[in-house]
Structure formats: C-alpha cells, structure tokens
Amino acid sequence: MKQFMVLYLMIWICVIFLCGIVHSEKPESVNIGAVFTFDSVIGRVAKAAMEMAVSDVNSDPIVLNGTKLNLIMKDGRCNAFLGSTGAFQVLEQGVAAIIGPQSSAIAHSISQIADAVKVPLISYAATDPTLSSLQFPLFFRTVQSDSEQMAAMANLIDFNGWKEVIVVFLDDDYGRNGVSALSDELENRRLKISHKLALSIHFDLDEITKLLNQTKVFNPRVFVVHINPDPRLRIFSVAHKLQMMTSEYVWLVTDWLAATLYSFSPVNQKSLSIVEGVVGLRQHIPDSSKKRDFVSRWKKMQKRVANTSWNSYGFFAYDTVWAVAHSIDKFLKVHDNITFSLRDNNMVPHTEGIGIQLEKLKTFVNGSDFVNILSLSNFSGVSGQIRFSSDRNVISSGYDVININQMKINRVGYWSNHSGFSVVPPEILAKQKHPRVSVDQKLENITWPGGKTERPRGWVIADNAKPLRIGVPRRASFVEFVTELQDSHKIQGYCIDIFMKALEFIPYEIPFVFKPVGNGKSNPNYDSLVKKIDQNVYDAVVGDIAIVTNRTKIVDFSQPFASSSLVIVAPINSSKSNAWVFLRPFSADMWCIIGASFLMIGVVIWILEHRVNDEFRGPPKKQLVTMFMFSLSTLFKTNSSPEEYAVALRNGPSGGGVAAIVDELPYVELFLSKETEFGIIGQPFTRSSWGFAFQRDSPLALDMSTAILKLAESGELQKIHEKWFCKMGCPGERKSNPKPDQLHLSSFWGLYLSCAVISVVALILFLLRIISQYVGFKQRQKDIVAPSSEQSESHCSRVVVNFFNFIDKKEDAIKKMFTQCDNPHNPN
C-alpha cells in the first residue's frame, strides 16, 4: 500500500512536471491577422472559411496543441488606404502573419509594411503576377498567379485558332498586370491583343456602354474580360443590350466570373441566362476526401446562415489559415515563443495623433525563420497539396474550363501547365505513365453565344459600309492574268478567278471593291503598287505579284498560288536543228577526225589507184563540210506582249530576233498556250512564286492562305490553271515528251542525204567514165569496120542495147577490146 502510494505520488509529480514544461514552453495563444474586404463576393466566403479553419485548427489535437490560434480581422474595403490602416492595426497586436488582402492593389502597399516588420503576407485572392517579384520577398500566395491563368487563357485562344483579341480590364494593378501577362503569353504564341479597353475601378453602366459600343468598328470579335467579381454582371447586360452576345462574338473570362456565379443563391441563378455561351476559367481543385468533407460541412453551414455564398476562394482561404498554423507549429518547436522586438523599427516614422501609434509596431524576432518554414510548407489541404514554388506561389493544379449553357455551368475540360487541355483531370493524367506524350489537346463541345456549337471565327469585317479596297493591276500585256476590260470595265483574269474561288473557301462574307491601277497602256509598277498597301491606300492587292524579299518586309503575302520561276523558252520544232541531230553523238572534234580519216583514206586510195591505173580520173574534187553555229542570244525584256515574243523567236538571231527568251513561268505558259512551235528548255533556274498581298498582320492573309491551300488540295487551282493556259494543250506536257531520247527517221535524213549525194556523185562519175570509154570504143570500131555500120548507128534502140552490152562486159574484156582496136592490123 505504501509502495503503491509512492508510485502514485511519483506519477503525479511527473505529470505535474511535464505539464509544467508544456505550459512554460508553449504560448497560450498566437495571433494572426487578416485584412480583406468583408463585403465582397470573395470576402464573404473567405471570412466564413477562415473562421471555420481557425476553429478546426484550435480543435485539432496535433497542430498547435495547447496553443490557441487567434484570428484578428480588419476590413480593408476596396481601398489601399483603409487596407494599410487595417494592416497597421493588426500588426500592433503582434501577429505572426497577415492573411490577405484579396485585392492586388492593397497587397502592393501592405507588402511593403509587412516587409518592414518581417511579417509574411499570405494571400488567397490577390492574383497580380507582379506580386511574385523580388520586391516582395514576404508575399506568399495560396491561389494561382495570373501569370498562370493568362498562360491558360492564351492557350485557349490559340487552341481555338483566334489571332487577335480585345481585352476589357479593370485599370488597376490587378487588371493591368494581368493583361500585361496575357500580352506576353500571346506574344509567345504569335497572337496579339488588338485593343485594350480599360475600365475605371468604380465603373458604371454608361462607361461600359461607351467602351463596348466603340468596339463595333473593330474587326476582332473575341473579348477577354478580366475584372473583379461583379454580382450584377453589368458588362454582359450591356453586351446584351448592344447585341454583342450573338453568334459572331466570343466572350472569354478569367476566374472572376466563376467566383461570381458560384456565389449566387439558387434564386439568382436566373441571371445565368445573361452569360449564355461565355467561356471561362476556374481554379481547378482536385477531388479528394478532404474536399468532399469540406463541401458538405459548408453546405450544412450555408443552411444555417442563409446568405453565405460559396466559391473556390473559400478553399484557398481555409488552406491559408492551415498553412500559417502548420508553420507556427513548426516554428514553436524551435523557438519557444513568438516574440517581437522594438529594436529595428526606427524606419517607421513617428506619427502621434492620427490614431495609430506606429512606434508600437514591433519586428517579428526570427521572422525570417518563420518565412523559411512557411516556404517549405507541404501538407494536403482542401484545395490539394499545398507547396510553394521558389517564387512563393502555390504549386498550381491548373484550371477548369467552364462554359455557361442552358443556365448551367458546365465544365468542358481542364488545363494544366504541363499537359495543356484535356477532358481528364490533370492529376489523373500525371499518374499515367507518359503524361506528356500521350495527351491530345481536346475539350468537350462548347456552346458559344447564340447557341451554336461550331466555333466562331472571332474575326469579321466590321463595318459593312467600308468594303476592302483591293488594288488590281490594269495590265497592258498578258492581260489574261488580270486586267480591266476596256468596254465593260469588268475586272477579270486568271488571278481574279483564283481570288474569287478562294473567297468561297473563307467562311465569312468579305465586302470588297476592286480598284484598277495603271493606265492600261503599259503595265503598272508592282513595287509602287505594293507600297500603296503599306501606305494604307489599299487593303490588299490581287494580281500577278511576285513574292520577293523587300515586298515581304512591308506587306503580308498569302500562300503562293502560282510558281513564277524563270524559264527559257525557245523554238522546239525547227527542222534545221532536228535534221542534224545525228551529228550529236560525236563532238565536233570527233567529226573532224572522222572527216579527216575519210579524206586520208580517200587520198591513199587515190594515190594507190593513181599508180596502178593511168585512166583513174581521180577522187571527188571537193567535200562539203557544213558547220553549225548555235548562237544563243536571249531576250530579257518584260512588258513585251506574246506577239512580240513570237515574232522575235521566229526571226531568230540571224534575222534580228532572238534564239530564246527568259521570263517568268506563268507568262511563258500563257505565251505557249497560243503558240505550239515553242517550248520550255531545261529546268527553271530560280524558284519564286506569286501571292496576294495584304496589310501587315491582316488575319485575312491567313484565311486567304488557308483557302489557297484548300484550292490546291481540291484541284481547283489546277482547273483554273488549265482553263487559262491549256487552250492548245498544256505547255508543260509539250515540254516533257514521253520518249525524249528516241530518234526518228527525220533525225537522219541529213545522213541519208549525204550518202545519197555521195552515191549519186560516184555513180555519175562512173557513168561518165563508162560513157567516155564507150564513145572511145565505138570510135575505134568505126575506124575498123567503116561503111556497114552506118545504118545501125543511126538506130537509137540499137545504140542503147550496144551500150548496155558494153557495160555488161568485164573491165578486162574492155581493156582487151581497146588493145584490139589499138592494133587492128594485128593478125592475132
């Protein structure tokens, strides 16, 4: 019993001792401050969420066991002055951290104060990206920065293929810096903000009306609205009034709309009809059991306190309190107490008499330690895992893309920085094996304003009273490309046909007028025509405009619709060149050698024959050698007409014309479509093309390019080409003979003629010799047999028969006959 009593006493002493340690080491309570706008869409939710979080922390046995978390709230309104005053007031009470503010503008000024006393500022709603700058080392954020939101927005614009947007924003730190981030992100994707419409902080309906009404003359129809939550949705009610919620418009909004809409009570949901077709972003909050518990608790509370609305900022506010609580807990494990010193605050001016005693502000001792602990936070909150990146922003879970359709808020997909758009939540994608590789960018169907599901073009020719001014050259030669008809003043031609056809592939009406340029007597100068686009005299030029470097510097060209490489055109059916083609297998040297060798053999034979045969009358007296000179003189002369080309080519270099012409392929093709005796020789020796010229950055250039590519792919371009250039067979086909290397009989008639001439000459020589022999023979015969032969000699047929008999005799016999004749008195 006694022993038991001793044991009991010892345990009791131990308990008292331990409790003494706990009580002496841990402060009873720790203060944290909160400065925000109580009466606002975000503030109402945040207030309730923070109160809930504080009571949860205080009832949690692990975090801050034995220490009460005390939240001191001050209303900053929407005002940097009141916000700063609130910050001073909470700092006076010795707070370890300040939660809030929700407004970026207030955050800028409070950050500087907090920095002076080493108290960190943790915001659940200030999204201004510049707050992450090194200027504010104590600013933390449990909500995604707008730099991320704007990346998502720019991605959404790019994803839908819009090139230019109009931004409506609140002209304060939040709006301006958000838009600046959007501008950077768009620039990275080579898109742009065409107009920035600034709203003042306390904007009214008149101001919005004026602002939106002026956009009717702008071409882009994609609006990005980046303002503060506005329960009256004034901007959209004005847009409705101005007929700007129709199918040609696109309205994209940042997370403010989701925050506004979710805080509507069910009765108020009717006003959703005003934002039908709007597409917005909302911070993505991954599904978790913590989140579901929190939401169900919230709903119960909402029933008790009927006018408490709800939005995702509630999650962030709740987690912010927990992040601070976790950090204080860790801090207290190292440092016994949270203490403040008066040491370092001589930077704060002496200000008595304005109600706040600034000299009472004390510096958080070991505050930088606390900031370190805070930056290493890692716990799972209701909005997901809470961790801070090196720029003190919470590591984000991305965004939901929402679309208001049939008075419901529909989530149509997700966006995250590493996987882009998907219909699967990013945290599930991240768990898959190859999240980056396998993700294809897609969203569910979106219903746009006007109720259509097909994506609006986002760009129109705004003012129908002002059609596009399209310059067209009034050509004087090669008028088939483009010109104005003299009598009817109709503009027509190959280029015009392509332009009109391409317009059919552009899914919207483009009002335009053609403005012919030039006097019709000579072709206009194309460089100055292009310059007129730059000078805003014309919006575009349609015609045979070559795409060359210094033109691309001042205008945007569409995709090329015709190749305009330089080619050589020359006669292809000249009999002269074809008949002697057999000469080509051997070079001129070779032919000289062959000729010389023939000559030499001839000489040798002649010498040999000459020695053995006295009657040999010698070889052919002369040999004809034809030399061919291919003198290539070319015609570089633009603005010539097809008729001039043909005349020059027909005359040939010897007749004052040319042997070949160098010109751009389309002109040559048109020329060849009328002439069949000429063709393209060899390969083109430059590569260039024609396109339509537009003003710099005109979205029409892009649409026209797409249309031209579609024309080319569908074969329409070729059809138009054939219509204009293939009246007498396509010149291209003429050039490419199916069997180009085959030699025809016509190629050899020169050779055959040579043979024939030589043979005939030889035959004639032979005959002459025979005849002379025959005549000589007959003369001798006459001398021997004098009178009897007189009768037969006069008979013609007899002479012929005798002659052929003579020919028929062998050379030897003839020689014998001559020797007989020479010795008539020989007895034999």
Ligand X SMILES: *[C@@H]1O[C@H](CO)[C@@H](O)[C@H](O)[C@H]1NC(C)=O
Binding segment for ligand X (CB under 6 A), chosen from 134-142, 332-340, 483-491, 644-652, is: 332-340
Question: Can you tell me the distance from the alpha carbon of 555 to that of 552, in angstroms, rounded to the nearest whole number?
Answer: 5
Q: What minimum distance in Å lies between the beta carbon of 302 and ligand X? A: 11
Residue-by-residue DSSP string for 783-817:
HHS-STTHHHHH-HHHHHHHHHHHHHS-HHHHHHH
Measured between alpha carbons, how far is residue 128 from residues 27, 140, 362 in Å?
A: 36, 12, 28
Binders of ligand X in range 548-577 (CB under 6 A): 550-551, 554, 573
Question: Strands 250-253, 279-283: parallel, antiparallel or unpaired by DSSP?
Answer: parallel
- Confirm or reject binding of residue 62 to ligand X (CB under 6 A): yes
Let me know: does 228 contact 168? Beta carbons within 8 Å: no
Q: Write the DSSP symbol of residue 150.
A: H
CA-based radius of gyration for the chain: 50
Nearer to ligand X, 515 or 531 (CB): 531
Among 114, 109, 108, smallest CA distance to 127 is for 108
Q: What minimum distance in Å lies between the beta carbon of 519 and ligand X? A: 20
56 backbone dihedrals φ, ψ, rounded to 5°: -65, -40
Nearer to ligand X, 133 or 339 (CB): 339
Nearer to ligand X, 449 or 479 (CB): 449
For ligand X, what does the binding mask look like between residues 597 and 636, x meaning CB under 6 A?
Answer: ----------------------------------------
Question: Can you tell me the distance from the alpha carbon of 308 to that of 677, in angstroms, rounded to the nearest whole number?
Answer: 90
Nearer to ligand X, 475 or 551 (CB): 551
For ligand X, what does the binding mask look like between residues 216 and 255, x meaning CB under 6 A?
Answer: ----------------------------------------
536 backbone dihedrals φ, ψ, rounded to 5°: 65, 25
- Confirm or reject binding of residue 722 to ligand X (CB under 6 A): no
Alpha helices in 130-188 (DSSP H): 146-159, 173-188
Q: What minimum distance in Å lies between the beta carbon of 149 and ligand X? A: 9
Instruction: Record the tokens describing residue 254, joined without a space.
Output: 């940042």
Nearer to ligand X, 147 or 219 (CB): 147
What number of other Cβ atoms are within 10 A of residue 270's Cβ? Answer: 10
- Confirm or reject binding of residue 209 to ligand X (CB under 6 A): yes
Q: What minimum distance in Å lies between the beta carbon of 608 and ligand X? A: 48
- Confirm or reject binding of residue 27 to ligand X (CB under 6 A): yes
Question: Can you tell me the distance from the alpha carbon of 245 to that of 428, in angstroms, rounded to the nearest whole number?
Answer: 36
Instruction: Record the tokens describing residue 403, joined without a space.
Output: 């679309």
Side-by-side strand order, sheet with 164-170: 192-199, 164-170, 222-226, 250-253, 279-283, 399-405, 408-416, 420-422
What number of other Cβ atoms are within 10 A of residue 189's Cβ? Answer: 14
- Confirm or reject binding of residue 438 to ligand X (CB under 6 A): no
When binding is defined by CB under 6 A, the residue of 2, 5, 61, 352 that contacts ligand X is 61
Binders of ligand X in range 250-309 (CB under 6 A): 305, 307
Q: What minimum distance in Å lies between the beta carbon of 701 and ligand X? A: 17
When binding is defined by CB under 6 A, the residue of 14, 20, 66, 757 that contacts ligand X is 66
Nearer to ligand X, 53 or 530 (CB): 530
Question: Can you tell me the distance from the alpha carbon of 113 to that of 213, in angstroms, rounded to the nearest whole number?
Answer: 42
Question: Can you tell me the distance from the alpha carbon of 440 to that of 482, in angstroms, rounded to the nearest whole number?
Answer: 45
Measured between alpha carbons, how far is residue 491 from residues 420, 516, 537 in Å?
A: 48, 8, 19
Question: Can you tell me the distance from the alpha carbon of 341 to that of 121, in angstroms, rounded to the nearest whole number?
Answer: 19
Question: Strands 660-664, 222-226: parallel, antiparallel or unpaired by DSSP?
Answer: unpaired
For ligand X, what does the binding mask look like between residues 475 and 514, x meaning CB under 6 A?
Answer: ----------------------------------------
When binding is defined by CB under 6 A, the residue of 188, 269, 296, 339 that contacts ligand X is 339
Nearer to ligand X, 581 or 817 (CB): 581
When binding is defined by CB under 6 A, the residue of 192, 270, 297, 418 that contacts ligand X is 418
Nearer to ligand X, 637 or 723 (CB): 637
Binding segment for ligand X (CB under 6 A), chosen from 252-260, 337-345, 657-665, 789-797, is: 337-345
Binders of ligand X in range 116-155 (CB under 6 A): 147-148
Let me know: does 400 contact 414? Beta carbons within 8 Å: yes
Q: What minimum distance in Å lies between the beta carbon of 679 and ligand X? A: 9
Nearer to ligand X, 44 or 163 (CB): 44
Nearer to ligand X, 572 or 751 (CB): 572
Number of shown-chain residues binding ligand X (CB under 6 A): 34
Q: Beta partners for 556?
A: 694
Q: What minimum distance in Å lies between the beta carbon of 562 and ligand X? A: 20
In one-letter notation, the amino acid at residue 238 is V
Nearer to ligand X, 38 or 752 (CB): 38
Binding segment for ligand X (CB under 6 A), chosen from 58-66, 170-178, 294-302, 685-693, is: 58-66
Measured between alpha carbons, how far is residue 216 from residues 196, 243, 314, 469, 689 in Å?
A: 14, 10, 38, 20, 37
Nearer to ligand X, 694 or 774 (CB): 694
Q: What minimum distance in Å lies between the beta carbon of 510 and ligand X? A: 22
Among 79, 98, 221, smallest CA distance to 163 is for 221
Nearer to ligand X, 28 or 487 (CB): 28
Nearer to ligand X, 390 or 788 (CB): 390
Question: Can you tell me the distance from the alpha carbon of 389 to that of 605, in angstroms, rounded to the nearest whole number?
Answer: 106
467 preceded by a cis bond (ω within 30 of 0): no
For ligand X, what does the binding mask look like between residues 364 and 403, x meaning CB under 6 A?
Answer: -xx--x--------x-------------------------
Question: Can you tell me the distance from the alpha carbon of 693 to that of 691, in angstroms, rounded to the nearest whole number?
Answer: 6
Region of residue 207 (phi > 0: left; psi between -120 and 50: alpha; otherwise: beta): alpha
Binders of ligand X in range 523-542 (CB under 6 A): 527, 530-531
Strands (E), 90-136: 98-99, 121-123
Q: What minimum distance in Å lies between the beta carbon of 710 and ligand X? A: 20
Let me know: does 658 contact 506? Beta carbons within 8 Å: no
Binding segment for ligand X (CB under 6 A), chosen from 334-342, 482-490, 702-710, 765-773, is: 334-342
Length of the chain measured in residues: 828
Q: What minimum distance in Å lies between the beta carbon of 532 and ligand X? A: 10
Nearer to ligand X, 265 or 714 (CB): 265
Instruction: Record the tokens describing residue 540, joined without a space.
Output: 């575009």
Q: What minimum distance in Å lies between the beta carbon of 551 and ligand X? A: 5
- Confirm or reject binding of residue 736 to ligand X (CB under 6 A): no
When binding is defined by CB under 6 A, the residue of 133, 337, 714, 819 that contacts ligand X is 337
Measured between alpha carbons, how far is residue 328 from residues 21, 395, 467 in Å?
A: 19, 21, 67
Measured between alpha carbons, how far is residue 557 from residues 483, 560, 687 in Å?
A: 21, 8, 16
Q: What minimum distance in Å lies between the beta carbon of 55 and ligand X? A: 16
> Which of helix, strand or coil describes residue 328?
helix
- Confirm or reject binding of residue 94 to ligand X (CB under 6 A): yes
Binding segment for ligand X (CB under 6 A), chosen from 196-204, 243-251, 333-341, 706-714, is: 333-341
Nearer to ligand X, 26 or 501 (CB): 26
Among 494, 474, 495, 477, smallest CA distance to 485 is for 474
Nearer to ligand X, 387 or 778 (CB): 387
Residue-by-residue DSSP string for 280-301:
EEEE-----HHHHHHHHHHHHH
Q: What minimum distance in Å lies between the beta carbon of 307 and ligand X? A: 4
Nearer to ligand X, 80 or 338 (CB): 338
Binding site for ligand X (CB under 6 A): 27, 61-62, 65-66, 94, 147-148, 209, 213, 305, 307, 334, 337-340, 365-366, 369, 378, 417-418, 444-445, 453, 527, 530-531, 550-551, 554, 573, 676
